[in-house]
Each structure stands twice: as structure tokens, then as C-alpha cells.
Amino acid sequence: MLPIVLLSVFGIVNLFLGFLRSNRVLLPFALVVLALVFGVNLLDWNHAGSITGLFDSPYVAQMLTVDNYSVAFSGIVLLTALVLLPFSRSYVVAHEPNLAEYYSLLLFSLVGAIMMVSYNHLIMLFVGIEILSISMYVLAGSDKRNVRSNEAALKYFLQGAFATGILLFGIALVYGATGTFQLNQLAANIAAPANASLQPMLYVGVLLMVIGIGFKVSAAPFHFWTPDVYEGTPTFFTAFMSTVVKTAGFAAFLKLLLVALPGTSAVWLPTIIAMCVLTLLLGNVGAAVQTSAKRMLAYSSVSHAGYLLLGLVAGRGQLDGPAAQAIFFYSLAYSIATVAAFGVLKLVSDQRQREDYAGLAGLGRTNPLLAFSMTVAMLSLGGIPLTGGFFGKFFIFVTVAGQGYIWLVVFAVLMSMVGIYYYLRPVIAMYMRPAEPGNDAPIAVDGFQAATLVVLAAISLILGILPGFFSGLL
């Protein structure tokens, strides 16, 4: 609860800081705020509500629950934002006139993300998604003079608004069938025999909700906006979108299915399986045929939604069960690797003005650090051992196979073979292709960004070498 309050308050304070002459104060301020909120969030670990008891009136507690699940996923989104911020440095240097607004929107959007992972009431889920999404619509269009950025914002907004409507309609139908927004109450009412006649309405409502959230996490066949929006959005915000939105979305998704809707798994399980197969196929094949590294990362983010959906397929039992553990670990590994990949890509595209693989050529020679952290990120996203991505996939696969879906795991393994193909392409470009003449100057990286990249690579490797620290956390 306290993180939400702090983020909101500091978000507003940050807006006022925008009146200062200098942009330079904004980045340190945002970093300090995020670090503070990250720490405050951790205080709630195993102490559900006791630290923030001040805010735990019955009213609030019905709407939001603070438990290890929400603390863990809030931790991921806050950490992601924290390690992403240093890459916004070029906006500070460029005297971006709206910088304070951007940082405030980021802070506000995190409020939405935290509400999405700690909701206990469908309206809170909806409000959380909206807070996050509306911030993203604006940020997608933040490069106002760029046509593609405008297109991205419009596309994202229109399609997102539809998805929101569908989600809200779903929530309304579910409410109509069960008479409650409360997650636990929902599960109880669904199980009650008295409601049997309302089941068609309930089922339609559940499906519409699955579609609505499926859109937000860019699961196929609701992923069509992803590549264009990711490509058009300034790289910094793309990184934010593909990590924070996805992590919060899946945490919310899992909570919904596990806590509120286990009684309707006959409806959502086949749907999720079908979405999962489609997402893995379209994401991986789509990524394999791209020539732009940024579009590849966009499609790869779709494919990772597929692996996470795989985790939902195994979603049974409590919020501290193997499926939740697997999704937590996967989200963490994925977010860290994605931030590193987009971070390097942003540095490169800022200075070489290109986002395709050729833009990365020769980086192994000119910027060994960038090349190294990009390589670690690619290996992690590809799921190769020594990196967190391997254990992310591993836990998901084992959990799903343990539920008896061997064929689905085999399919996912085949798809990750495709993944290795395209994740190696940046690596090949960096180490084995010489840079184009005239475009081979070393990329300038300040010490802060370099340190962040080192930290990101280190986290990826720690997740890959000592997964035991994180795997049993929830």
C-alpha cells in the first residue's frame, strides 16, 4: 500500500520539479524515489500489512491485498524501472522540454502496475490496467515529431481502448453472474450450485476478460499491435512496455485464474492453451524473419508472452505454487534481459541512427562491454544455461510437463530452437561482422550506464548460476 502512496505523491512532486530550469535534477530524483519505493515494498515481505497497517482499513483491504505474491511482483516491476532509468540519460542531455512529465508518467504507471499485482477486487484490476495503459499511450507518442511514434501512440490507444472495453464488459458479465467483484467471493459463488443457471453469462464474461488481458500482455491472436507500437515508440519506453506491462499483466492474469476462476477452468484452460500455441508460433516465427533488431525484440516479446502463458496452463492451487514460482522467476529473468537488450539498442541507435542488425556490427571490438551485456541478454532470452533465461524456461517447462502437457512442452522446446536462431543474430553481428566504414566509432557510454549494464549482466548470470536463491521465494 505504501509504495502506491509514495509513487503517487512523488510523481506529483516530480511534476513540480519540472518547473526548475534544469532537467538534471529529474533523473537522480526519480532514481532515489524508485530505490526508496523498492525498499519500502520489500518491508512488506512476510509482514503482510504490518508495516503499512496505517492504511489497512477494511475498505482498502477488500480492494487490495498485500502479500508475498504482490510484494514479489511489485519488486520485479520496481527493479525493472530502476535499472531502466539510467538509459533515459540522453533525454536529460537533449533538454527534452517535457522530461518531468515523462518521469511522472513512469512513476504513475508503476502505481497501476502495483495495483494490478495486488488487486483483490475486479474494479481494482481494471483501474490498475487503465492507469498503466493510459500512461503508456502517452509515452508511446512521446517523440512528437516522429511520424512512427505518433502512429504507434494512436494505434496503441485505439486498440487498447477496445481491449479495455472488452475487459470491462467481461467484468460486468462476471459480476452479473456471480454478484461480486471480490476474488475469493467470486470463487465461492462460482462453486455455489445456486448459480448454475447463470453459467453461460459467466463463461462469456470469463472469455472476454481473458481476451482483454491477453491484449495487454500481447498474446496472440491479440498481438497485432505489438511490433508496430514497439517499433514506433522511443526505445526507452518500448523497454518499459515490454517488461513492466508484461510482468504486471501476467501476475494479474495468474491471480485471476488461480484465485477467482479455478471453477471455470473448463472454459479458460483450452483458450489459454490455444493462445499459448499461437503466441509461441507467431512470436518466434515472426521474430525470425525480422531484419530490424528492435522489431525482432518486439516479436520476441510476443514469444515470451507465449512461454508465460505456458506457465498459466499449469496454474493450479495456491499463489505460492510451482506455477506462480515459475512465472515469477521467468518474469524476473525476462525483464532483466530485456532491459539490457533495449538499453544497448538504445545507446547504439542513438548514436548510429539505426536499429537493424548491421547497426550492431563490430560492437565486440569497439565496445566490449556493450557487446558482452547484449550477448548475455540474448543468451538469457534464448534460454541458454549460465543465464537466468535458461532456468526461467526450465521451471516453466518442468511445471507444465508435471501437469501432463508433454506435447505442449515439446512444442515450446521446438519453438525455443527457433528462438536461438534469431537471438544469435545480434551476437553474430557484434562479434563476427566488421562495422561499416564511417559507422565504426565507439559508442559513448557514461559510467552510470556502464555500471547499470554490468549490474544487469551480473543479475542475469546470478539467476543462471544460483537460481536457488530466487526459485523458492514466493
Partner 1 sequence: MLTAFLVFFPLAAALVLHFAKGSAARVLALGASLVELAVAAFAAFVFVRNGPGRFDLNLNWIPSAGITFHLGIDGLSLCLVLLTAVLVPIILATAFRHKEYDNPGAFYALVLFMQTGLLGVFTALDAFVFYFFWEVALIPIYFLAGAWSRSDRRIQITFKFFLYTIIGSLFMLAGFVYLYLQTGPAAGSLAAHSSDIQAFYTAGHQLGAAQQSWLFWLIFAAFAVKMPIFPFHTWQPDTYTESPAPATMLLSGIMLKMGIYGCLRWLLPVVPLGTSQWQQLVVVLAIIGIIYGAIIAIRQHDMKRLIAYSSLSHVGLMIAGVFSLKDIGLQGAVIQMLAHGVNVVGMFLVADAIERRTGTRHIADLGGLTRRTPLLSVCFIVMLLSTVALPLTGGFVGEFLLLAGVYEFNMWAGAVAGLTIIFSAVYLLRMYQRVMLGPPSAHSDTITDLSGAELAMFAPLILLVFWLGLFPGTFLHLSEPTISSILTAVGR
471 belongs to the binding site for partner 1 (CB under 8 A):
yes
Residue of the chain from 161, 358, 401, 443 that contacts partner 1 (CB under 8 A):
401
46 belongs to the binding site for partner 1 (CB under 8 A):
no
Closest by Cα among 375, 372, 367 to 442: 367
Nine-digit cell at 183? 476474488
410 belongs to the binding site for partner 1 (CB under 8 A):
yes
385 belongs to the binding site for partner 1 (CB under 8 A):
yes
Closest by Cα among 461, 457, 468 to 83: 457
CA distance 460 to 266: 37
* Helices within 353-436 (DSSP H only): 363-366, 368-382, 388-402, 406-432
Residue of the chain from 268, 390, 405, 422 that contacts partner 1 (CB under 8 A):
390
Contact region with partner 1 (CB under 8 A), list: 29-37, 203-211, 414-422, 437-445: 414-422
Contact region with partner 1 (CB under 8 A), list: 115-123, 156-164, 196-204, 386-394: 386-394
Per-residue buried b or exposed e for 341-376, using 16+ beta carbons within 10 Å of the residue's own CB: bbbbbbbbbbbbebbbbbbbbbbbeebebbbbbbbb
Measured from the CB atom, is 153 or 463 closer to partner 1? 463
- The number of angstroms, rounded, from the C-alpha of 22 to the middle of its chain's C-alpha atoms is 31
454 belongs to the binding site for partner 1 (CB under 8 A):
no
Measured from the CB atom, is 13 or 466 closer to partner 1? 466
Measured between its terminal Cα atoms, the distance across the chain in Å is: 19
* Interface map 431-450 toward partner 1 (x if CB under 8 A): xxx-----------------
Measured from the CB atom, is 206 or 379 closer to partner 1? 379
CA distance 254 to 316: 10
395 belongs to the binding site for partner 1 (CB under 8 A):
yes
409 belongs to the binding site for partner 1 (CB under 8 A):
yes
Q: How far is the CB of 474 from partner 1 (least distance, A)?
A: 9
Cβ atoms within 10 Å of 421's Cβ, excluding its own: 12
Name residue 292's beta-bridge partners.
Answer: 356
- The number of angstroms, rounded, from the C-alpha of 388 to the middle of its chain's C-alpha atoms is 16
Residue of the chain from 273, 398, 450, 461 that contacts partner 1 (CB under 8 A):
398
- 3-class SS of residue 206: helix
2 belongs to the binding site for partner 1 (CB under 8 A):
no
CA distance 62 to 472: 28
369 belongs to the binding site for partner 1 (CB under 8 A):
no
Measured from the CB atom, is 148 or 316 closer to partner 1? 316
Nine-digit cell at 435? 562495422
Name residue 356's beta-bridge partners.
Answer: 292
Q: How far is the CB of 395 from partner 1 (least distance, A)?
A: 7
325 belongs to the binding site for partner 1 (CB under 8 A):
yes
330 belongs to the binding site for partner 1 (CB under 8 A):
no
Measured from the CB atom, is 305 or 361 closer to partner 1? 361
- Residues near partner 1 (CB under 8 A) are 321-322, 325, 364-365, 368, 379, 384-386, 390-391, 394-395, 397-399, 401-402, 406, 409-410, 413, 416-417, 420-421, 424, 428, 431-433, 466-468, 471-472
